Amino acid sequence: MKKRNLIKAVCALSFATAGLFSFGGSAHAESVNTYIANNDIGHASVTSSVWGGFPKNGYRHGTGKPEGVVVHETANPSSTIYNEIAYMKRNYQSAFVHTFVDASRIINIANTNYLAWGAGYPANARFVQFEQVRVHSKSAFAHEIANAAYYTAYILDKYGLKPNDAAYDGKGTVWSHKGVSKYLGGTDHTDPTAYYASMGKKYFGAGYTFAQFYQLVKTTYNNLSGSHEKKAFDKVSYKSADEEALLGDKYKSYRLYNHVKNSRANVKKYSWSSVGATVGKKVYIDDIGKKSSGSTWYRIRFASDQGVQKYWVYSKALNLDTSADE
């Protein structure tokens, strides 16, 4: 079967590990982990959609819990997460996994307290397994990786396991399907290696590796702070401001929020269309938030009147140099 927060330290490690250089003559490669951190990409919540038709077989040794996580990808460039789930329910006697992940969803379809049939014997008797559905854009891949890293960390934390990359000795808790083939046997698949490499090269200028993914898992796990249901919020320092700016030409890549993203629970998103946004539209800034991770956020309004609604936005959505209009 082929199948949201993050600290800057992991980004530096990703650059060092990947050895990223310029590509295409003028553009520069950017690691996936760095992109996730710089754009404050969070993660989807785990949606429970457990189907009762899957068999319920216990893990080995009668422990009642898994020993790690196996990461897969579907190798189907045209399927959707719901296509894959429907297919697996129809064909579970041949193979099935616990969960599916894409750019916006983490859907758990089989009870993780029981084993799945996704990587052959003996891995099936040891690990929770999930599939990544192939996606087709830079942003989608980054969001999918963030979701996959979160789900891996979530399962480790849920079952009291610590992150340990199995790629080096075959004794860890975080496995690729390739690692299973290499160390445990019962299968010859190598996913998600090729998928990660090709998406990294296509959208980020250098192949993404499972080692980089593992670093993201580690950081995400540390941010869980010992509770798989607890969300780690970013620390933000604030200072008042009285500035003006313009919406930049890439503002649509970001969103509007009622608070700094991931600074507290239940932060609400707003669409740009709801405020009549256009490139070069003037905004008024009255507060600046600086995350401990280094990113900067601005509280803006779209009229000079202090009483109108205010929104928080990531700095890269704005052009702070308005001298050209003066």
What residue ranges do the domains of the chain occupy? 8-224, 236-325
User: Residue 64: which pLDDT band, with cuts at 50, 70 and 90?
Assistant: confident
Residues 6 or more apart whose Cβ sits within 8 Å of residue 178: 189, 190, 191, 192, 193, 210
State pLDDT tens for residues 135-189.
Answer: 999 999 999 999 999 999 999 999 999 999 999 999 999 999 999 999 999 999 9
State pLDDT tens for residues 252-304.
Answer: 999 999 999 988 877 889 999 999 999 999 999 999 999 988 899 999 999 99
User: Residue 9: which pLDDT band, with cuts at 50, 70 and 90?
Assistant: very low
Is the predicted pLDDT of residue 311 greater than 70, yes or no? Answer: yes
- The answer to whether residues 315 and 297 touch, using CB atoms and an 8 Å cutoff, is yes
- According to the model, what pLDDT value does residue 14 have? 42
Residues 6 or more apart whose Cβ sits within 8 Å of residue 321: none
State pLDDT tens for residues 75-119.
Answer: 999 999 999 999 999 999 999 999 999 999 999 999 999 999 999
Calculate mean pLDDT across residues 209-221. Answer: 96
Residue 131 one-letter amino acid? E
- According to the model, what pLDDT value does residue 4 have? 40
The 3-class SS string of the chain reads CCCCCCCHHHHHHHHHHHCCCEECCCEECCCHHHHHHHCCCCCCCEEECCCCCCCCCCCHHHCCCCCEEEEEECCCCCCCHHHHHHHHHHCCCCCECCEEECCCCEEECCCCCCCCECCCCCHHHCEEEEEECCCCCHHHHHHHHHHHHHHHHHHHHHCCCCCCECCCCCCCCEEEHHHHHHHCCCCCCCCCHHHHHHHHHHHHCCCCCHHHHHHHHHHHHHHHCCCCCCCCCCCEEEEEEEEEEEECCCHHHCCEECCCCCCCCCCCEECHHHHCCCCCCEEEEEEEEEECCCCEEEEEECCCCCCCCCEEEEHHHEECCCHHHC
- According to the model, what pLDDT value does residue 231 have? 56
User: Residue 27: which pLDDT band, with cuts at 50, 70 and 90?
Assistant: very low
Counted residue by residue, the chain has a size of 326
Model confidence, pTM = 0.65
- The answer to whether residues 91 and 83 touch, using CB atoms and an 8 Å cutoff, is no
Is the predicted pLDDT of residue 47 greater than 50, yes or no? Answer: yes
Residue 21 CA: distances (Å) to CA of 17, 30, 151, 182, 198: 12, 9, 30, 30, 16
In the CATH scheme, what is the code of domain 8-224?
3.40.80.10
Per-range mean pLDDT, top range of 113-122, 229-238, 257-266, 316-325 = 113-122
- According to the model, what pLDDT value does residue 265 have? 77
Q: Considering only the top CATH level, what class is 236-325?
A: mainly beta
Is the predicted pLDDT of residue 226 greater than 80, yes or no? Answer: no
Residue 266 one-letter amino acid? N
Q: What percent of the chain has pLDDT over 90?
A: 78
| Token representation of residue 241 | 């401001």
Kindly report the CA angle at 212 between 233 and 177, in degrees rounded to 5? 110
Look-up: residue for tokens 């698949």? 189
